[in-house]
Structure 1
Amino acid sequence: MSKLRSLVPSPHSLFVFEAAARNLNFAMASKELNVTQPSVSHSIKALEKHCGAVLFTRENRGVQLTEVGRVLYDGVRASFSRMEESFKAISPEATQYLTLAASTSMAAHWLMPKLYELQHDHPNLKIKVVTTDRDVEPDSEIDMTIWIRDRGFQRANTWFMCDEVVFPVCSPAYVASHPRIENVSDLSNHNLLHSFDPHRKRISWDEWFDRVGAGAAQAPPNMVASDYQLVMLGALSGEGIALGWNFSAQLLLKNKLLLRPLDVSVKTGGAFFLVANERRADQDKLGILVEWFLSQTADLR
């Protein structure tokens, strides 16, 4: 057990001491604490007696901390500040985050770069981003997430954002250092970056080639990554050509970090949907987030 209980006559005495030391005036401290000035003086004298040290020198216009009083005040002030931050951190107001669940690539390349703008416009909106390797159901832990479903998918608290469109992407550096790509068949002569996601169904290079009518151009993978984010990092670093999604690659293309070496794409028949927790009490804040998502994806619709 902490020895603090035996070192302090009462918790109230510390509040009185802190107010008196901060204001250097017993009258101001009494007004702040809503007690009488004699009560403040009595508490300080009791604390000094308990500590066996003089904490204040009394003067006509107020009081001054002694050297011992300054040491105690520095410790009390720092402790109060830490306790205040701790109480703020666990208060209901502090913990009312809107929690968004997304894939690692979506969070890294679309959500995070854009969320700063959202929080600038809505400073009281607290956002927590959770990355997940599978689709999750909005519940008590997750307020909102993004699913890819058939375009006709419907359910309560779900909003269509854009169709799922897939196309090759690579870095400008890769294009500059490799043979020109003029048609789909040329892709088989390049380093194609492959991924296999065990929990989310993503179109593969083989499927993509089939969809564009170029099955003969298929190329077996030399390496497969289990996380699509690794494929994106490979494309960004100039290692090869990846399949890019119109939604998650939107900013990378806009900022010219990636480009489309070939103007051929596949519209899968799927779509990106925003899915929200319909049981959340604070629907107003959820509504702000929905409106923002829809505005940010308007040019993809």
Structure 2
Amino acid sequence: MKQNLNLNWLRTFDAAARHLSFTAASHDLGLTQTAVSQHIKALETKLGQNLFIRRARSLQLTEIGQAYLISVRDALEHIDFSTSGLFGPELRTTIVVRASAAMIIWLSARVSDFQDKYPNTGIKLVTSLWQNEMEKHPVDVEIVLAAQNQSDHRMVKLSEERIVPVCGARTSANILTPVDLMQCEKVHVLGFDDHWARYLSANGLPTGVVSPRIVVDTSVAACELAAAENGCAIMFERFAQQAIEAGRPIRIVGEPVSNGQSHYVIQRNSASSEKRASAEFCEWLTTCF
């Protein structure tokens, strides 16, 4: 009974049969010619049959070798198909990119371009909400929001951001001027507590009357509340436009206002195998803004 066949021997047999050359097979597999020869000899010993006819300047399959090759290739193809189907294609490396939920959604319409350019690099997108948990798993690239006068040399500026008021389609009919915003239920986003005051102030309106009754922790949630006619939210113009393009039932109901912040990309310390992929992603990202 033949059992416990080494899979590497079978892959070497397939390569040698494909090239009819141990030398060419060694180049294909990244092995030495001696290693290829040893694999074939070990397989033949295990099977008790010669698979090749060896001549001085040529290599030829025996009849049983030709018959066996059909089954071996079929089995290897099944393994490759199953592995690719369950675990995805073979990748050179996978980089971890951390950003806000809204930024990840904004990138979702563009990330296929990166995949087309760098098919051997996988991307794992994680939200900033998981920052503490992710410290156990180093992040390769981080997209952050910070004041426009940042001087950290690691931070590459991507954009200057503007904020706009958004609300549902029905509510938007009642908002003709910035003054009308004063009568709306105001949705606040944690971490962006100054957005309402900044927007109202830029339009010459009082800010002392701003008192949040609805508070959420992401711009994505604020957008959904606005879409459901639960009030008006202030959010970044690019994220509002993305939501509208994606079919969300919201409207921008005011002119954009600069909020003095920008998005930056930071390439964190990575293992050497990921540094190149991280640099490629950062370079690609700058073309998206």
Normalised by the length of structure 1, the TM-score is 0.63
Q: Larger % of strand: which?
A: 2
* 1:8 match: secondary structure: coil
Structure 1 residue runs of 5 or longer lacking an equivalent are 1-5, 47-58
Give yes or no for contact 1:184–1:217 (8 Å, CA) kept in 2.
Answer: no
Give the deviation of 1:102 after TM superposition: 0.5
Q: Which residue of 2 aligns with 1:118?
A: 114
1:181 alignment partner, SS class = coil
* Structure 1 residues 126-161: Cα deviation after superposition (integer angstroms, max 9, x where no partner): 322111227789997112212222211111221122
2:3 aligns with 8
C-alpha distance 252-209 of structure 1, shift in aligned 2 (>3 A): same
Matches within 5 A, 1:133-282: 133=129, 141-171=138-168, 173-175=169-171, 179-195=173-189, 197=190, 200-215=191-206, 218=209, 220-253=211-244, 257=248, 258-263=250-255, 265-277=256-268, 281=272
The 3 A distance-change label for structure 1 pair 247 and 273 is: farther
Displacement, 1:256? Answer: 6.7
Q: Give SS of 1:248's match.
A: helix
Q: Offset of 1:40 from its aligned partner?
A: 5.2
How large is the Cα RMSD of the aligned pairs? 4.8
User: In structure 2, what residue type is equivalent to 1:123?
Assistant: P
Matches within 5 A, 1:4-83: 8=3, 11=6, 15=10, 34=37, 42-45=45-48
1:291 aligned residue: 283
Distance 1:285 1:118 in 2: 11
The separation in 2 between residues aligned to 1:164 and 1:12, in whole angstroms, is 55
In structure 2, do the counterparts of structure 1 residues 235 and 64 end up closer, same or farther at CA, with 3 Å as the change threshold? same
Asked if the contact 1:135–1:147 (Cα under 8 Å) also holds between the matched residues in 2, the reply is no
Partner of 2:57: none
Whether 1:132 aligns to 2:128 is yes
Q: Which amino acid in 2 is paired with 1:259? A: R
Report the Cα offset of residue 292 of structure 1: 2.5
Equivalent position SS for 1:154: coil
Paired amino acid for 1:252: A
- In structure 2, C-alpha distance between the alignment counterparts of 1:107 and 1:158, rounded to whole Å: 19
Quick check: 1:168–1:262 contact (8 Å CA) kept in 2? yes
Q: Which SS does the other structure have where 1:153 is aligned? A: coil
* Alignment coverage as a number of residue pairs: 262
CA–CA distance in 1 between the matches of 2:139 and 2:245? 30
Q: Give the secondary-structure state (helix, strand or coil) at the position aligned to 2:152.
A: coil
- Alpha-carbon distance, 1:103 to partner: 1.0
- The CA deviation at 1:63 is 7.0
Segments of structure 2 that go 5 or more residues without pairing to the other structure are 26-35, 50-61
- What amino acid is aligned across from residue 188 of structure 2 in structure 1? H
The offset of 1:252, in angstroms, is 3.0
Per-residue CA deviations over 1:148-178 (Å, capped at 9, x if unaligned) read 222111112211222232110234x335xx5
Given the two structures, how large is their TM-score scaled by the length of structure 2?
A: 0.66
One-letter identity of the residue aligned with 1:156 = H
Most deviating of 139-148 and 181-190: 139-148
Decide which moves more: 77-86 or 246-255: 77-86
CA distance in 2, matches of 1:13, 1:140: 33
Q: Give identity over the alignment, percent.
A: 15
Q: Secondary structure at the match of 2:109?
A: helix
Counterparts in 2 of 1:34 and 1:151: CA distance versus 1, 3 Å: same
Output one character per residue of 1:61-108: Cα deviation in whole Å (capped at 9) or x when no partner. 77768xxxx8x998897568767999998x8xx362232101112112
Superposed displacement of residue 43, structure 1: 2.4
> Aligned partners of 2:96 and 2:87: how far apart in 1?
21
